[in-house]
Amino acid sequence: MKKTIPVIGMACASCSANVERKLSSLKGINSASVSLPGRSALIDYDPNVISLETMKKEINAIGYDLVIEEDRSAVEIERHEYAVLKRKALFSWVIALLVMGISMHWIPVGSAQISNQLALLLALFNLVYCGRGFYVSAFRQLRHGSANMDTLVALSTGISFLFSVFNTFWGEQTWGSRGIEWHTYFDASVMIITFVLTGRLLEEKAKNMTASSIRKLMGLSPKTAHIVEGENVQEVPISAIEVGDILEVNPGEKVPVDGEVTWASSFMTADAAYVDESMITGEPTPAMKKIGDKVLAGTIPSQGKFRFRACQIGGNTALAHIIEMVQQAQGSKAPVQRTIDKVSLVFVPIVAGVAVLTFFLWWIIGGNAALPQAILSAVAVLVIACPCAMGLATPTALMVGIGKAAEKQALIKDATALESLRKVNAMVIDKTGTLTIPNRNIDFTKSDSLPLDEREALKPHVQEAIADLQGMGIDVYMMSGDKEEAAKYWADKAGIRHYQSKVLPQDKENLVRKLQKEGKTVAMVGDGINDTQALALADVSLAMGKGTDVAMDVAQVTLMGDDFGAVPGILRLSHKTVRMIWENLFWAFIYNLICIPLAAGVLCLFGLDFQITPMWASALMALSSVSVVLNSLRLRFL
């Protein structure tokens, strides 16, 4: 069984890596892919070996939670957690301003001793109330031999707070008596928590925007429906609908479940209604629905009303399958992300090691103020190191890219497909059903006597799409079981230079294999059972939404709108998404490469009096994560 389960409590890339590692280690789980921006886990497991309850218990033990209960809403939980995070960030800012005012003597409170003690109390409240989550999480991680961003925050704020407490009560005796100038750093411990909380608040807001495509799809499903019982029509919750129930839908209302029309009427046609299916298929023209026709959940009658028999309900509707496919795709990982996850797992221990090394080096070369300088430098290193930016670089771009594709009625099954599309330089295309539409009003026994353009019609946008693909440097090959004359006619009309006629399914597979042996990355586009061999073999496979279920099951991308003209746009989206991933990774890498040495005080060794303080380190760390997410969101407008 494969299931997407919401995960609560993840804050950084190390968090998602820890959850994924724990799930993958459990007996009965074949594979687990955890998405930080999606806040979900895509789990392939054997329900006979392991239950969801066992998974939840194991994940709870390391400080996170799986939402497996039907009466718990992950959206509501996240909304509540966002409100709590917002409140803590606000409190932390108030405390931070007060502590800064006291430390900088902007707020006169008496002697230095009283100022330090008052700052101590405020900082303690900030740590206990606003920063408690960091310490709880760090402790749980420590118990299980792992670490995450919370570990770095807990270490840095704990060290700076305890050192400041020591200085408050024993600073003069320890340092002052030796002629060493001493300070407290309560403002640093408070500002670190304040900036981290603020960064997470902005990050959560941006993450919600990356998941907007899923929310739009979920918003297509209504909460209630009108059920027909004899002469009465009653409004009921959608959960109360059963297979076989007769439901009524009025103009402007959303169809609640999939079904079959039993009665229809409109002012245009006495026995039919017109339904807007654009949100599912992308077709702008309303579809006529008569008795016996299928209707899909989420579609809307634009003219007339109808009654229908419920056939597919709950998670079995076409809309539910689309939502599940998009969720699984957004939760899947591109090959580059696997490497980043491995780096994230060792990143925190490495940073802790760098901080310890920084401490001892400054202690040795720091002169009279060796210990304070060593502590502050180590704290700054702990704070500024951010695995979050690297961890968010790939999944946020993928979520936005796959979501944008879904809005364009292209369902991408996994991240690997989206990444592979940009490499395509050869495309094999089936003719009938993909490029052309047969004239179904003609008896096929008489079709041979008719002109070719009366037997079939080229789909809209095909000529523009073919020219576009060839302009992108892609070699296009049309494969047809039709006669030579017909195949040549439609290839010429579509603008395709390479074609084959009278082909069998094996011939399509052979062409894909031949092109791959020539070193090409091959995409196959088809719609029928006779295309499945080639679809399965191709590097990337695309199926038309009105094709066979078998073709759509095999294909990695399904074009719900059945419009071949969308193909070039999907390839361009792949290029933009992958480019965005590498942009994000570049800046995340550069950030750590530059900022960690500056926080450690490397420039001071060369006589330059510049070093990033713990307070500014926390601000830069928060900014790096937010900037990666915001950069990914640019995909929505490209």
Distance of CA 423 to the CA centre of its chain: 22
Angstrom distance (rounded) from CA 431 to CA 429: 6
Say how many residues make up the chain: 638
Backbone phi, psi, residue 254, to 5°: -90, 140
Cβ atoms 334, 417 nearer than 8 A = no
Q: Comparing C-alpha atoms, which of 79, 75, 631 is closest to residue 401? A: 631
Angle at 618 between CA 612 and CA 624, to 5 degrees: 100
- The runs of H, that is alpha helices, within 104-148 are 112-125, 132-143
**Residues 20 and 66 sit within 8 Å (Cβ to Cβ):** no
Which residues touch 22 (CB under 8 Å, ≥6 apart)?
Answer: 58, 59, 62
Report yes or no: 589 and 390 within 8 Å, Cβ to Cβ.
yes
- Catalytic pick among 245, 258, 430, 562: 430
Task: Please indicate whether residue 44 is annotated as part of the active site.
Answer: no
C-alpha distances (whole Å) from 530 to each of 301, 518, 534 are: 35, 24, 8
Q: Fill in the DSSP letter of residue 432.
A: B
Q: DSSP secondary-structure letter at 367?
A: G
Please, what is the angle between helix 186-210 and helix 74-103, to 10°?
150
E strand or H helix that includes residue 4: strand 2-8
Yes or no: say if 43 and 51 are a contact pair by the CB < 8 Å rule. no
Q: Is 63 left (phi over 0), alpha (psi -120 to 50) or beta?
A: left
Q: For strand 65-66 and strand 232-237, is the pairing parallel, antiparallel, or unpaired?
A: unpaired
- DSSP letters spanning 200-266: HHHHHHHHHHHTHHHHHHHTTS-SEEEEEETTEEEEEEGGG--TT-EEEE-TTPPP-SEEEEEEEE-
Residues 6+ apart with CB under 8 A from 232: none
Say if CB 66 and CB 52 are below 8 A apart: yes
Active site residues: 430
